[in-house]
Chains A and B, each alone.
Chain A
Amino acid sequence: MKPETPTADYLFAAELFGRLVWFVRLRWMAVAGLVAASLIGPSLGLPGVWPALLVVGSVVAAFNIFFTNHLGWRSRREQPYEHLRSCAVRQILSDLAALVVTAHYTGGLQSPALLFFAFHMAIGTIILPTRIMYVVAACTSGAMFTVYMLELNGVLAFHPLDPNRGMCGAACHFNMGAFIFALVGVVALTDSVTSRFKKRNLKLWETTQELRQSTGELQRSLEQVETVEQRKSHYMRISAHQLRSPLATVRTSLQVLTEGFVEPGTDRGRRLLDGALERVDDLLVTVNGLLDLAKMREGRASAPWTRKVNVNQLLTDIFDALEPLAQAREIRLVPEFEGVVILDWGVPPDLIFAFENLIENAIKYSREGGEVVARLRVQGDRATVEVRDQGIGIPEKFLDDVLHEFVRAPNGKRHAPQGTGLGLAIAREAVEAHGGALELWSREGEGTTATVSLPLHLKPMKASS
């Protein structure tokens, strides 16, 4: 099974599978060689051993058929690496056993079949872990040594290739030593060459995986950018519509006057002209709000983030600035500061805008004689500012919406007709730019509590817009 995140084993498994298929095909050539040798042998005047080679050829053919099925041709993607590796070890051990038998029947340590041992060691080292191949080399050497000893002591018959020659005597001891040295040497030499390639292959594979991961991340970023673009476009449209409505009113009013439906000098004419002026003023306020919002959004990319902000001082300044407005409406401003709260960083003008807006709203939507409380405290690693009023409140179904641009609750519109519907959106923008959150709680007729929570120790954010 292809894993969700491919591991290195998966890479090796694919490689190993290809090699094993190749092994199975080569083995048919070995079978053909053994059968051919058993058929041609007698005509070369070397009787005796050839039926044995035919038997070895048949056995090799039989296990090759078994391995073919065992490998599972049709489901290469479902072969786990462990399974393929044990397949490879079994195949190599079977091959080597067949080779030992073949060598025994074709002259023992004088057999030309000895060359094929080296061939297996090299291939085995390429596709399998080297330590396994050292064990295989040791087993093979042991097997060959045992056969040699049995032949030497007459337990097994010696089958010379040249019937006129006997065992080679002392020279064969050297052959035995050279054989063992060759097997181990081939494994060591092959390993020294291939290990570097294996490492590079693994590195390449890891790089590919990293690349794939970064591509995925890029894709996600792209989607985020698209979402932001959509939001921007939505915002542009809603802004345009907010400007269009008063413009349409101005145009209709003026057209009614110019086309003579109403005389400019009459009461109604004056009302229309005043109304048009009023709408033009509204337009200016809205345009200014939009500029503020744009400034705030752009400000995130350029403002110096390293400044510490004393929230107590900030709120006190705002209270001082709003005191005349509160007095005019006979509203009491109550600061409730629990300790001194200092943010590690912040953009003071943006925070002032946010809190000023919230407190001004609280005053604006309060009934005369009410109270506006600003409660500042630390909760965990966040500073919390609650701005609480006893005003008209926000109907529940508008609670989420009023935080968006141009949305005003109907009771708010009736209570204070002037207003762009941009203030809360800008405040939220400013708070979120500081890693904070703005939440509203309200009950219609009872009052509203706006809660701002800001992280005390947020590290300066990277410029983003």
Chain B
Amino acid sequence: MAERTVLLVDDDDVFVEAVQAVLECQYRVLRAANGTEGLEMIAEERPDVVILDVMMDYLSEGFEVARKLRNDPVTADLPIIMLTGVDQVYNVRMEVDESWVPCERYLEKPVAPGDLLRHVAEVLEDQ
């Protein structure tokens, strides 16, 4: 099987560096520092799974990227893992419209390396 590609979209470069180190054991890893960069990279590189932070340049950027991906027929089936420091209840309180968060997994930081690898593997398997 060809090496799968994971795209990490997160504005915290240290966190990305750490997660990249974990994922690189099994996958090809690409990184983007914000939503716009992430969308461009998805269009160019066609990753197999995307790991999205929520709060980047603005509060709900991750959610918006996820919605854009789902609404585009080309990327509608791309698995999305939200990996964020903000819990779900909080987003509702912040009046971030979370009525539709189209993601396969919703993980909260910090996540143990083993758990992250398992979630990515499961999501790819479900494909």
Contact assessment for B22 and A237 in the assembled complex, using a CB-CB cutoff below 8 Å? no
A253 is contacted by which of B14, B86, B114 (Cβ under 8 Å)? B14
CA distance A275 to B58 in the complex (A): 23
Given the complex, which residues of A lie within 8 Å of B114, measured CB to CB? 259
Complex CA gap A428/B25 in Å reads 48
Q: Which of A234, A275, A398, A413 contacts B14 (CB 8 A)?
A: A275
Chain A, interface residues (CB within 8 Å), range: 20 to 34
B22 to chain A: which residues have CB within 8 Å? Answer: 256, 261
**Hey, what's the 0/1 contact readout for A243-284 against B, CB within 8 Å counting as 1?**
011111101110110010110000010011001101100000
**A276–B21 contact, CB under 8 A?**
no
With the chains together, A275 CA to B18 CA distance in Å? 10
Measured between C-beta atoms, what is the minimum distance from B37 to chain A in Å? Answer: 12
Check A262/B21 contact, CB under 8 A, given A234-B93, A245-B85, A251-B110.
yes
Interface residues of A in 202-257 (CB under 8 A from B): 234, 237, 241, 244-249, 251-253, 255-256
Q: Smallest Cβ distance from B121 to chain A, in angstroms?
A: 16
Q: Are B58 and A410 in contact (CB under 8 A)?
A: yes
Contact with A along B2-43 (1 / 0, CB 8 A): 000000000111110111011001000000001000000000
B14 / chain A contacts, CB cutoff of 8 Å: 249, 253, 271-272, 275-276, 278-279
Which of B55, B57, B86, B109 lies in contact with A252, CB distance below 8 A? B109
Residues of A within 8 A of B12 (CB): 245-246, 249
Q: A237-B93, A255-B113, A413-B57 are in contact. Are A261 and B21 (CB under 8 A)?
A: yes
Whole-angstrom distance from the CB of A238 to the nearest CB of chain B? 8
- Is B113 a contact partner of A245 (Cβ separation < 8 A)? no
Q: In the complex the two chains form, what is the Cα distance from A197 to B115 in whole Å? A: 82
Q: When the two chains form the complex, which single residue of A234, A245, A249, A268 contacts B21, counting CB atoms closer than 8 Å?
A: A268
- In the complex, what distance in Å separates the CA atom of A234 from the CA atom of B17? 31
**In the bound complex, CA of A245 to CA of B85 (Å):** 5
A-B contact pairs, 16 of them (CB 8 A): A237-B90, A237-B93, A245-B85, A247-B110, A248-B15, A249-B109, A252-B113, A253-B14, A253-B17, A253-B18, A255-B18, A262-B18, A262-B21, A272-B21, A279-B14, A410-B34
- Listed in ascending order, the chain A residues whose CB lies under 8 Å from chain B are 234, 237, 241, 244-249, 251-253, 255-256, 259, 261-262, 268, 271-272, 275-276, 278-279, 398, 410, 413
